[in-house]
Amino acid sequence: MENLIPKMAFTFIESKPDEEIYEICIALKDVCGAVAKTTKVLSDAKVDIRTSTLFIAKGSTGLGYWTSFIDISKATKGIKEIEENLNKLDVVQEVEVVKPKPLAYDVIHFPMMHGDSPAIIMPIEIFGSLFEEIEKILMPSGFAAVFYNAGKKSGAYIAELFSKKYGLKGQELISAFIQSTKATGWGQIEELKLDSNRPFGKVRIRRCFEAIPSSSNKDRECHWTRGVIAGFLSDVTGKPMDAVELKNATSGDGTCEFEVRPKI
């Protein structure tokens, strides 16, 4: 299994009482060396860059944003002087500095975007409590049916998005699906075999977000995830498919396995 590096979402950082945390957002001209010039100003002032994000400004040409959480507790210059020095750079259009209180959350950017779509970030523990409460209301059989069907619609939407917007089909479409689930934290697909002639498929996912043990259900099944798989592969094959979960991650090795076959 390949070594994976956890990805920290730019939403929040843990800070210590002796740190002086600021969030600084710099509107940069999209030219070579712009980030290097700004980081030099911070480096010269002995500023600790805790984490940062860089992206092109949506709807704007030739402009990008570089936003960082910085600690100036050991800096040789104050925040005002640092801001002034940044504004003097020919690559900087604007600088915004905020001291986030009471916690070091990103308070500058909104909404959160995933490509062209608004998105949210939600800790897995919240999903776990959400599923647990919904299952109490719907009962296990109702919960399974509702989330499986909702998952199928989601999977079909993903396949349609990739095929229509990016022109993907066949193996490229499947590869994009594998990439997207890993990048967005749904899970790491270690195997996705599809025999379109039968048709028949097998999917193995490590650390599927839906396989969350709870106080009332130690063997939660991934109904939404198997629905996504069925809906996605139905679109890929052009035939209605169903997915069943053969193995859940809570069984020991952190892996969920699914079998995909024609809908009866």
Backbone angles phi, psi at 197, to 5 degrees: -75, -30
pTM for the whole thing? 0.89
Angle between helices 170-183 and 223-237 in degrees, nearest 10: 160
- Kindly report, residue by residue over 191-248, the tens digit of the pLDDT: 999 887 888 999 999 999 998 765 455 667 899 999 999 999 999 999 999 999 999 8
- Please enumerate in sequence order all residues whose Cβ is within 8 A of that of 72, keeping only pairs 6 or more positions apart, or say none: 20, 22, 45, 47, 48, 78, 79, 82
Q: Which domains does the chain show, CATH number per domain?
A: 21-118 (3.30.70.260), 124-262 (3.30.1380.20)
Query: What is the spatial distance between Cα 68 and Cα 38, in angstroms, rounded to a whole number?
Result: 11
Q: What is the mean pLDDT of the chain?
A: 93
Q: Which two tokens stand for residue 253?
A: 């090795």
- Kindly report, residue by residue over 95-118, the tens digit of the pLDDT: 999 999 999 999 999 999 998 899
Q: Which two tokens stand for residue 218?
A: 């130690």
Contact 173, 191 (CB under 8 A): no
Total Cβ atoms within 10 A of residue 230: 27
Query: What is the spatial distance between Cα 23 and Cα 106, in angstroms, rounded to a whole number?
Result: 7
What is the rounded average pLDDT of the residues 5-29?
95
What is the rounded average pLDDT of the residues 120-148?
92
Query: How confident is the model at residue 3, as a pLDDT?
Result: 72
Query: How confident is the model at residue 1, as a pLDDT?
Result: 46
Query: How confident is the model at residue 213, as a pLDDT?
Result: 62
Query: How confident is the model at residue 220, as a pLDDT?
Result: 73
What is the rounded average pLDDT of the residues 19-38?
97
Query: What is the spatial distance between Cα 164 and Cα 157, in angstroms, rounded to a whole number?
Result: 10
User: E-assigned strands of the chain?
Assistant: 21-29, 48-56, 63-71, 92-98, 113-114, 117-118, 188-195, 200-206, 241-247, 255-262
Residue % of the chain over a pLDDT of 90: 81
Helix (H) or strand (E) holding 207: none
State the pLDDT confidence band at 31, using cuts at 50, 70 and 90.
very high
Query: What is the spatial distance between Cα 13 and Cα 138, in angstroms, rounded to a whole number?
Result: 37
Q: Which two tokens stand for residue 240?
A: 């209605």
- Kindly report, residue by residue over 144-193, the tens digit of the pLDDT: 999 999 999 999 999 999 999 999 999 999 999 999 999 999 999 999 99
Residue 94 has pLDDT above 80, yes or no: yes
Residue 253 has pLDDT above 90, yes or no: no
Picking from 5-9, 39-43, 201-205, which range would have the lowest pLDDT averaged per residue?
5-9
Residue 252 has pLDDT above 90, yes or no: no
Rg (CA), the chain: 23
Residue 23 has pLDDT above 60, yes or no: yes
Residue 42 has pLDDT above 50, yes or no: yes
Query: How confident is the model at residue 219, as a pLDDT?
Result: 64
Residue % of the chain over a pLDDT of 70: 97
DSSP string, 134-158: HHHHHHHHHHHHHHHHHHHHHHHHH
Q: Tell which residue, 182, 10, 13, has the closest CA to residue 110.
A: 10
